[in-house]
């Protein structure tokens, strides 16, 4: 993930002055443990400024409105108490080439600052510190004690001390090419590494875009660059410094991240803040998506393994219980043939009542014939009791397995992050597992304050809408809340998968192509995705029922018709 460097921070600051300084601070909301959002009101607009000290995605940019969930963080509460209603009058760098912005707050524009909010954008050492006018720390996002750092501490009540100054050479527009080239090439090495080591204010992403613009491989050794290479690179170097000096920025996405200087841009951005908001939202959501999907799949797979072992144990007990009748018959045979018993016998062979075939009955030599028969009767009763006790337990385990296989199928269908809907669908699965007591809510999880997530939507060959649930929550919503009397409901037959709804208007009649299209996608969004074909049932939604006490996503149906879905064909529909 690309980090905000000195150049990007200057672009952020320049746009802040253009749009939102001065501004009144109306509200403070903490989105998560690393991000606060400040509601800034100007004469023209009200916008939310995100300030994040995330170790991999520290940034400052205007973002979306926060969710409706309550803010329970202490840091934001302290900021609200101190800064609420104050005016943001300035955002200045505390020293040349430092990645620290000083947000200054006063009672009104033109007054002297009463509070300073220092935002340090320094990778994993990023932090946000609120001080009074005398730079005494009031609160800090992440306190740093003497036990954690012997160089610099950040604790409430202490004077604020800026980060230790950098010792690298400062880039200057006035420096000659000869001096610059000599400094960079003094020690032979890859050009990207030598640039990074020679000057402050540079970042790997900035160097990568600069070298790309100069058409130089980043791994090229400095002692192999020719005169034209040095000339092209120096021109880009001067271009960077000139744009930085004039606050002339051109932001956009690149193949390796983003650029604020127009180099290698493949997708122009409206402005720097919009670019950063989209980039870091996408990157963080992708990271969160991968972690959450892995955790949920691992949890569901572990649960299924345990339940399958449990089911196997119950099956074995049932198989033993099936022998109950034969054991009772052995006891009856023994009681009818007491005269054939002899003391010390370990087994006896008697003829079956009905078939006349020999039946070998094991005996306890220490017991007589009546006692052995009684022991067999007791064993018969025990097995019969086990049969009546184990059967409902097995049914319960099978129901759980079917439910978790349905959850597993949903997780396997959400393979990669493409938009917020994917992450939201995973969050809904997580919330469902918490509600079903399969997961503990250790983080006091609260769902997003946004609307419910949306299902997949496709158009059939005749132009009818086809809605497909992403998870059990959506499945239940589609089947029991959204569906009307004219729709058709599809699902793979006895195979875990999504509920599929073919939306129809009164009088509309889908043709065979529409039905096959729906069946193909129903098969694709199921555990049969890798098969060549799978049976798919379809019926009217009014013939689909949820059994009393059934878990989310589970349903029974009647008056169904069957089609063979082709999941491999469905791959062509979703491209």
pLDDT beyond 50 at 542:
yes
Mean pLDDT of 133-138: 95
Residues of the chain with pLDDT > 90: what percent?
69
Residue pair 143/158 in contact by the 8 Å Cβ criterion: no
pLDDT beyond 80 at 558:
yes
More confident residue, 255 or 493: 493
Domain-by-domain residue ranges, the chain? 6-140, 177-269, 456-573
Mean pLDDT of 568-574: 87
Mean pLDDT of 363-368: 90
Please name which of 251, 261, 244, 275 lies closest in space to residue 61, comparing C-alpha atoms.
275
Mean pLDDT of 221-228: 92
Helix (H, G, I), strand (E, B) or coil at 328: helix
Predicted local distance difference test score (pLDDT) of residue 442: 60
Identify the band that residue 34 occupies on the pLDDT scale cut at 50, 70 and 90: very high
Mean pLDDT of 425-451: 74
Cα pseudo-dihedral 318, 322, 325, 327, rounded to 10: -80
* CA of residue 428 relative to chain centroid, distance: 11
CA distance 574 to 559: 30
Residue pair 414/426 in contact by the 8 Å Cβ criterion: yes
What is the per-residue pLDDT across 2-16, written as a single tens digit (0 to 9) for each? 999 999 999 999 999
Mean pLDDT of 443-457: 63
pLDDT beyond 90 at 316:
no
Domain 177-269 coded CATH 1.10.3720.10? no
Phi and psi dihedrals of 71, rounded to 5? -95, 115
Residue pair 200/7 in contact by the 8 Å Cβ criterion: no
> Which superfamily does 6-140 belong to?
ibrinogen binding protein from staphylococcus aureus domain (2.30.310.10)
Residues of the chain with pLDDT > 70: what percent?
98
Identify the band that residue 444 occupies on the pLDDT scale cut at 50, 70 and 90: very low
Predicted local distance difference test score (pLDDT) of residue 381: 82
Predicted local distance difference test score (pLDDT) of residue 518: 95
pLDDT beyond 50 at 448:
no
Predicted local distance difference test score (pLDDT) of residue 443: 55
Identify the band that residue 575 occupies on the pLDDT scale cut at 50, 70 and 90: low
- Which long-range contacts (C-beta less than 8 Å, at least 24 apart) are formed by 558-564? 561/537, 562/493, 562/535, 562/536, 562/537, 563/515, 563/516, 563/519, 563/535, 563/536, 563/538, 564/519, 564/533, 564/534, 564/535, 564/536
Identify the band that residue 380 occupies on the pLDDT scale cut at 50, 70 and 90: confident
Instruction: For 467-531, give the DSSP string.
Output: EE-SSHHHHHHIIIII--TT-EEEEETTS-B--EEE---TT----HHHHHHHHHHHHHTBTTTTS
Residues 6+ apart with CB under 8 A from 450: 67, 424
Identify the band that residue 31 occupies on the pLDDT scale cut at 50, 70 and 90: very high
């Amino acid at each position: 993930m690309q980090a905000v460097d000195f150049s990007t921070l200057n672009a952020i600051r320049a746009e802040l002055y253009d749009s939102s300084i001065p501004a009144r601070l109306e509200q403070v909301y903490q989105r998560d443990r690393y991000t606060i959002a400040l509601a800034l009101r100007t004469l023209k607009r009200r916008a939310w400024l995100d300030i994040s000290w995330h170790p991999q995605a520290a940034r400052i940019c205007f973002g979306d409105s926060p969710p409706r969930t309550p803010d329970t963080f202490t840091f934001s509460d302290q900021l609200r108490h101190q800064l609420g209603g104050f005016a943001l009058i300035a955002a200045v760098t505390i020293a040349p080439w430092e990645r620290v912005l000083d947000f200054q707050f006063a009672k009104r524009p033109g007054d002297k600052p009463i509070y300073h909010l220092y935002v340090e954008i320094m990778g994993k050492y990023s932090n946000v510190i609120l001080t009074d006018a005398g730079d005494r720390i009031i609160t800090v996002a992440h306190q740093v004690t003497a036990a954690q750092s012997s160089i610099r501490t950040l604790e409430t009540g202490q004077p604020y001390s800026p980060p230790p100054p950098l010792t690298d050479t400062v880039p200057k527009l006035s420096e000659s090419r000869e001096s610059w080239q000599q400094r960079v090439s003094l020690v032979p090495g890859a050009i990207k590494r030598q640039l990074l080591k020679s000057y402050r204010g540079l970042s790997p992403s900035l160097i990568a875009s600069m070298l790309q613009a100069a058409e130089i491989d980043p791994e090229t050794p400095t002692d192999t660059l020719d005169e034209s290479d040095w000339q092209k690179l120096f021109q880009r170097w001067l271009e960077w410094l000139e744009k930085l000096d004039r606050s002339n920025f051109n932001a956009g996405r690149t193949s390796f991240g983003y650029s604020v200087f127009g180099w290698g841009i493949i997708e122009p951005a409206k402005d720097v803040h919009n670019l950063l908001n989209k980039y870091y939202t996408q990157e963080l959501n992708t990271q969160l998506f991968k972690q959450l999907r892995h955790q949920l799949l691992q949890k569901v797979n572990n649960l299924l393994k345990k339940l399958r072992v449990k089911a196997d144990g119950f099956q074995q007990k049932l198989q033993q219980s099936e022998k109950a009748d034969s054991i009772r018959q052995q006891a009856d045979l023994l009681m009818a043939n007491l005269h054939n018993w002899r003391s010390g016998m370990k087994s006896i062979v008697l003829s079956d009542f009905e078939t006349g075939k020999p039946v070998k009955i094991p005996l306890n030599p220490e017991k007589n014939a009546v006692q052995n028969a009684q022991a067999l009767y007791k064993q018969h009763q025990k097995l019969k009791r086990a049969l009546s006790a184990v059967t409902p337990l097995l049914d319960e385990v099978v129901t759980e397995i079917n439910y978790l296989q349905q959850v597993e199928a949903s997780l396997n269908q959400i393979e990669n992050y493409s938009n917020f809907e994917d992450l939201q669908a995973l969050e809904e699965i997580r919330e469902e597992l918490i509600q079903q007591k399969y997961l503990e809510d250790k983080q006091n999880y609260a769902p997003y304050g946004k609307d419910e997530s949306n299902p997949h939507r496709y158009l059939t060959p005749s132009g009818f809408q086809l809605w497909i649930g992403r998870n059990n929550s959506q499945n239940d919503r589609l089947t029991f809340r959204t569906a009307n009397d004219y729709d058709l409901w599809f699902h793979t037959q006895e195979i875990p998968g999504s509920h599929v709804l073919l939306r129809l208007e009164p009088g509309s009649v889908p043709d065979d192509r529409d039905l096959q299209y729906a069946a193909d996608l129903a098969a694709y969004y199921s555990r049969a995705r890798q098969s060549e074909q799978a049976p798919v049932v379809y019926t009217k939604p009014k013939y689909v029922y949820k059994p009393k006490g059934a878990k989310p996503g589970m349903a029974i149906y009647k008056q169904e018709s069957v089609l063979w879905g082709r999941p491999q064909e469905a791959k062509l529909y979703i491209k």
